[in-house]
Amino acid sequence: MPPVDMPTEIHTGTRNAFKQSRQYVYLWNHTLNIFVCDQITADGLDGEKMVIVIADSASGQWYVAVEGAMTAHGFVGRRAAFRSQEEFWSAGWHDWQVNRNNDSGEPDWDTQDDSQLSVESRVPPGTVIVVLDDQLHQLALTD
């Protein structure tokens, strides 16, 4: 991945989530090279966070929102929730696949075109932009 201008704050959500102020707010963590969100899905566990990482799979490179816990050694993922191959950090609408497996374990990605979740990314005015020379944290996930 070539260097990318990455905003340090991204808000994502459906139209309804933004109307109800329930969007996900991701903040860039320079130490871990991941976006961290304090909100979780309905399947998340108390005390968990959601982060966005990169996962390589047979179907290509994905940006994956993963629920899990922050520990003294970093983030420990428990469950992949959503994934997209689009540049989610760019303002606009992006399609995400949903993991139908509500528990930890192998993801069961809903790959039907009509079941993609259309999510808007917003970058607040004045957000600091960083140049990401490496890439997001890598995580071993499979299709």
Give pLDDT tens digits for 8-21.
999 999 999 999 99
Has residue 137 been placed in a domain?
Answer: no
Higher pLDDT: 4 or 60? It is 60
CA 31 – CA 83 distance, rounded (Å): 23
Query: Residue 111 falls within a domain, yes or no?
Result: yes
- Which one is predicted more confidently, 132 or 75? 75
Domain count, the chain: 1
Helix (H) or strand (E) holding 6: strand 4-7
What would the pLDDT profile of 86-137 be if each residue is shown by its tens digit? Answer: 999 999 999 999 999 988 889 999 887 776 899 999 999 999 998 877 666 5
95-102's contacts with Cβ under 8 Å and 24+ in sequence apart are 95/119, 96/65, 102/43
Q: Give the H/E segment covering residue 4.
A: strand 4-7
Work out the pLDDT band at 142, boundaries 50, 70, 90: very low
Average pLDDT over residues 73-93: 94
Q: What pLDDT shows up at residue 110?
A: 82
Per-residue pLDDT for 141 more than 50?
Answer: no
Provide the β-strand partners of residue 96. Answer: 117
Asked whether residue 140 is assigned to any structural domain, the reply reads no
For 44: left if phi > 0, alpha if psi spans -120 to 50, otherwise beta; the answer is: beta
- Ranking 4-8, 37-41, 68-72, 138-142 by mean pLDDT, the lowest is 138-142
In a domain, 103, yes or no: yes
- Whether 95 maps to a domain, the answer reads yes
Segments forming the whole domain that contains residue 53: 4-132
End-to-end CA distance of the chain: 21
Q: Is residue 112 part of a domain?
A: yes
- Two tokens, residue 94: 């992006």
The pLDDT, as a whole number, for residue 87 is 93
Q: How confident is the model at residue 143 (pLDDT cuts 50, 70, 90)?
A: very low
